[in-house]
């Protein structure tokens, strides 16, 4: 028998009992809230991509991808995994943020200094061909964006730990809105260049940082206290650092191929490849929302047997991802040239080739969230590191021969390997069968059928009303 979506958060048995305002919101409500925010962010991201494609073209779009990847790596390196313990500590309602916030600030300042120094050395000392297209002005945007984006990620992690997903969604929408508006405004001053897009991006994260800081202002009152060092804080930071090794490896697995494409080809090919990857990763929205809500739930319920619940989530994520992938594969040949222009038609092939890996990564996100919530971050790092080796080997083999199609195949293969390894470990952790993790029950299939029938009936009714 299938369990309810959150057995730990059922309504009180007494119908006259008042709800407890200290109780965390239900899992399904959290997922719905995250998805609602992501829907707005998806719309803004799509509009931004269309503006980039129509106003800039593949070449500047490739430059933007290179800069964003450099910022992403800088945040991962400079963040030192602090967002992981922040979520865990934030999920513990007995803890006050003032107990650890000053320590986190000092730790992050150290990490961001290292990351910014490394970026300066790579760009000005080594001049790698993989950064071809990153101009000195773009270098400056990346340099100042790293610490701002890292701090922004910490505040978002705290909102996640407190399960304030509505506020987190609002912060994301504000960031994307300001970023897009900044880009459009700066095209009048700087022209249709990658600089306009990146300075608009910087304005967006500054706006998001300001709003997030305002939302958590009451929890930042201990920021000027002397940093605390105790066993719990040190243990949390080390747990985050171990987990961050996996995140860095995952970054190389998911993103480093952009630099290899740029090394062998040019920024225009990077732009075509990056668009295809971004569209295929649209399938991760529901799994990402689910994983985001699952992390704090798992962290705050360490004594519960979550096997049946997590298996239920995995089954739904797998079914939805497969259906979404099929729809995307059918729609992309028409939608991509229509929305982004005929110049981006080669991105369709990238979408097709990377979809199998995208589906597996959707499952891996849920698996990784469960394992991280249990504090078991070591396996994530090992598997991600192995996948990096596979990715780099296949990239060096396939990209010179097949271009961006080879990069897509390499990424898809490594995604599948990394996801399969995570799911094998999760299966042992949950003591569940493969069918329990992948195959929806008959009752669940009937609910899908009923939901689809309701959608069709509603559509017919709307059409009849308009007629």
- Tens of pLDDT along 249-262? 777 777 788 999 99
pLDDT band at 35 (very low <50, low <70, confident <90, very high): low
Helices 404-430, 267-280: crossing angle, 10 deg rounding: 30
Residues 93-118 have a mean pLDDT of: 83
Rounded to the nearest 10 degrees, how much is the dihedral formed by the CA atoms of 430, 435, 438, 442?
-120
The CB-side HSE value for 192 (13 A sphere, CA atoms) comes to 10
pLDDT given at position 395? 94
Q: If we measure between CA atoms, which residue out of 383, 411, 382, 384 comes closest to residue 395?
A: 411
Q: If we measure between CA atoms, which residue out of 149, 130, 1, 182 comes closest to residue 68?
A: 149
In whole angstroms, what is the distance from residue 15 CA to residue 6 CA? 19
Placement of tokens 């790596």 in the chain: 73
The CB-side HSE value for 34 (13 A sphere, CA atoms) comes to 24
The answer to whether the beta carbons of residues 158 and 97 sit under 8 Å apart is: yes
The answer to whether the beta carbons of residues 172 and 41 sit under 8 Å apart is: yes
Element at 36 (helix H, strand E)? helix 27-55
Find the range with the poorest average confidence among 155-169, 178-192, 244-258, 264-278. 244-258
Going from N- to C-terminal start, the domains of the chain cover 25-456
pLDDT given at position 120? 95
Of 181-185, 307-311, 318-322, highest mean pLDDT: 181-185
Q: How many beta carbons lie within 10 A of that of residue 13, not counting itself?
A: 6
Q: To the nearest whole percent, how much of the chain has pLDDT over 90? A: 39
In whole angstroms, what is the distance from residue 377 CA to residue 233 CA? 17
Q: Maximum distance among all alpha carbons in the chain?
A: 70
In whole angstroms, what is the distance from residue 187 CA to residue 54 CA? 13
In whole angstroms, what is the distance from residue 31 CA to residue 10 CA? 16
Percent composition of the chain: helix, strand, coil (DSSP 3-state, to 5): 85, 0, 15
Residues 102-119 have a mean pLDDT of: 88
Contacts of 434 (CB under 8 A, 6+ apart): 427
146 SS3 class = helix
Give me 332's structure tokens. 């992309």
In whole angstroms, what is the distance from residue 36 CA to residue 417 CA? 31
Residues 327-344 have a mean pLDDT of: 94
Of 23-32, 38-47, 220-229, highest mean pLDDT: 38-47
Q: If we measure between CA atoms, which residue out of 352, 364, 363 comes closest to residue 412?
A: 352
Distances in Å between the alpha carbon of 168 and those of 46, 158, 293, 465?
20, 9, 12, 37
pLDDT given at position 37? 64
291 SS3 class = helix
pLDDT band at 64 (very low <50, low <70, confident <90, very high): very high
Residues 88-96 have a mean pLDDT of: 74
pLDDT given at position 80? 82
pLDDT band at 460 (very low <50, low <70, confident <90, very high): confident
pLDDT band at 22 (very low <50, low <70, confident <90, very high): very low
Mean pLDDT across the chain: 82
pLDDT given at position 165? 79
pLDDT band at 466 (very low <50, low <70, confident <90, very high): low
pLDDT given at position 263? 93
pLDDT given at position 452? 65
In whole angstroms, what is the distance from residue 373 CA to residue 51 CA? 38
Residues 388-414 have a mean pLDDT of: 93
Q: What does the chain come to in residues? A: 467
Of 45-49, 94-98, 373-377, highest mean pLDDT: 45-49
pLDDT given at position 139? 96
Position with higher pLDDT, 68 vs 161: 68
pLDDT given at position 385? 79
Of 78-82, 330-334, 455-459, highest mean pLDDT: 330-334
pLDDT given at position 16? 39
Give me 150's structure tokens. 């890292």
Find the range with the poorest average confidence among 51-55, 88-92, 401-405. 88-92
The answer to whether the beta carbons of residues 78 and 150 sit under 8 Å apart is: yes
Position with higher pLDDT, 434 vs 384: 434
Residues 332-355 have a mean pLDDT of: 94
Angle (nearest 5°) at CA 243 between 410 and 168 = 95
pLDDT band at 378 (very low <50, low <70, confident <90, very high): low
Position with higher pLDDT, 114 vs 375: 114
Position with higher pLDDT, 235 vs 63: 63
- Sign of the C-alpha dihedral, residues 246, 249, 254, 258? positive
**Whether residue 247 has pLDDT greater than 60:** yes
Q: How many beta carbons lie within 10 A of that of residue 3, not counting itself?
A: 11
Rounded to the nearest 10 degrees, how much is the dihedral formed by the CA atoms of 100, 164, 295, 106?
-20
In whole angstroms, what is the distance from residue 39 CA to residue 298 CA? 25
């Amino acid at each position: 028998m299938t369990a309810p979506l959150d057995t730990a958060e059922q309504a009180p048995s007494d119908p006259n009992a008042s709800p407890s305002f200290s109780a965390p919101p239900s899992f399904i409500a959290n997922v719905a809230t995250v998805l609602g925010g992501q829907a707005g962010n998806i719309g803004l991201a799509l509009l931004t991509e269309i503006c980039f494609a129509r106003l800039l073209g593949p070449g500047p779009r490739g430059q933007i991808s290179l800069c964003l990847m450099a910022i992403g790596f800088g945040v991962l390196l400079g963040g030192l995994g602090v967002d992981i313990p922040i979520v865990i500590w934030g999920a513990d309602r007995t803890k006050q943020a003032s107990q650890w916030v000053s320590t986190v600030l000092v730790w992050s300042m150290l990490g961001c200094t290292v990351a910014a120094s490394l970026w300066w050395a790579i760009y000005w000392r080594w001049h790698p061909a993989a950064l071809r297209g990153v101009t000195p002005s773009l270098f400056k945007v990346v340099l100042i964006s790293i610490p701002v984006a890292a701090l922004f990620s910490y505040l978002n992690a705290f909102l996640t730990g407190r399960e304030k997903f509505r506020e987190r969604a609002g912060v994301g929408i504000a960031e994307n809105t300001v970023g897009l508006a900044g880009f459009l405004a700066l095209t009048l001053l700087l022209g249709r260049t990658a600089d306009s897009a990146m300075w608009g991006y910087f304005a967006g994260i500054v706006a998001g940082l300001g709003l997030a800081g305002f939302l958590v202002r009451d929890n930042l009152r201990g920021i000027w206290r002397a940093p605390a060092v105790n066993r719990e804080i040190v243990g949390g930071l080390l747990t985050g650092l171990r987990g961050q090794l996996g995140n860095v490896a995952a970054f190389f697995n998911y993103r480093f191929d952009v630099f290899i494409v740029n090394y062998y080809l040019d920024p225009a090919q990077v732009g075509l490849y990056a668009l295809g990857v971004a569209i295929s990763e649209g399938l991760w929205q529901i799994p990402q929302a689910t994983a985001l809500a699952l992390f704090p739930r798992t962290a705050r319920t360490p004594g519960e047997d979550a096997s049946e619940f997590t298996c239920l989530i995995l089954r739904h994520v797998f079914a939805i991802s497969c259906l979404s992938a099929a729809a995307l594969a059918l729609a992309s040949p028409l939608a991509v040239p229509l929305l982004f222009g005929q110049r981006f038609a080669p991105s369709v092939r990238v979408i097709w080739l990377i979809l199998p890996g995208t589906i597996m990564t959707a499952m891996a996100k849920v698996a990784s969230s469960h394992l991280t919530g249990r504090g078991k971050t070591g396996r994530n790092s090992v598997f991600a590191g192995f996948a990096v080796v596979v990715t780099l080997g296949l990239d060096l083999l396939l990209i010179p021969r097949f271009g961006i199609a080879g990069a897509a195949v390499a990424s898809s293969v490594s995604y599948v390997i990394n996801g399969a390894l995570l799911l094998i470990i999760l299966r042992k952790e949950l003591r569940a069968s493969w069918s329990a993790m992948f195959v929806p029950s008959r009752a669940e299939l009937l609910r899908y059928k009923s939901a689809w029938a309701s959608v069709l009936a509603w559509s017919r009714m709307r059409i009849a009303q308009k007629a």
